[in-house]
Amino acid sequence: MPARPQSGEYHSEMAFEHKLAIRVVRKHADGVTVEFSVREDFLNSNGVLHGGVIASIADEAAWHAMSHAYKGERPATTTELKINYLRPIAGKKMTARAYALRAGKTLFVTRVDLFDSQKKLSAVGLVTYMLLDSK
């Protein structure tokens, strides 16, 4: 297992999530901004970021927004994820801004705006987490 990351680095010891290496670069009152370094192994056959990776980044950005809203990690699982792809993402870096829309007792709902390296809106996601009982 990889060593636990330092502050601002990725939280997970899960192999796929660790490989994404998403970094929280800013915390806002209503969410977070994360960065992702685009690597060749995440590109599709057209040379742009694979849609599944974009969806995963939205999911993880939402998770970070949830952790920020509840002031720490909570047991939760994704219950819904919808992505509108607006333009291909190419370049070396992308950012995602996750907005907490609802932080309830059982559900956490976010909107995630994903931007390419030129800061053009490239995808919009709606991600819902169900909070689980901590046992």
- Non-local (6+) Cβ contacts of 62 within 8 A are 78, 98, 108, 110, 112, 125, 127, 129
Give the predicted TM-score (pTM) of the model: 0.87
Rg (CA), the chain: 14
DSSP designation for 3: P
Looking at 1-15, 31-45, 62-76, which range is the least confident one? Answer: 1-15
| Residue-by-residue DSSP string for 15-39 | HHHHHH--EEEEEETTEEEEEEE--
Report the mean per-residue pLDDT for the chain: 89
**What is the per-residue pLDDT for 36?**
95
**What is the per-residue pLDDT for 13?**
62
Domains and CATH numbers, the chain: 15-131 (3.10.129.10)
Closest to 63 measured CA to CA, from 104, 116, 100, 35? 100
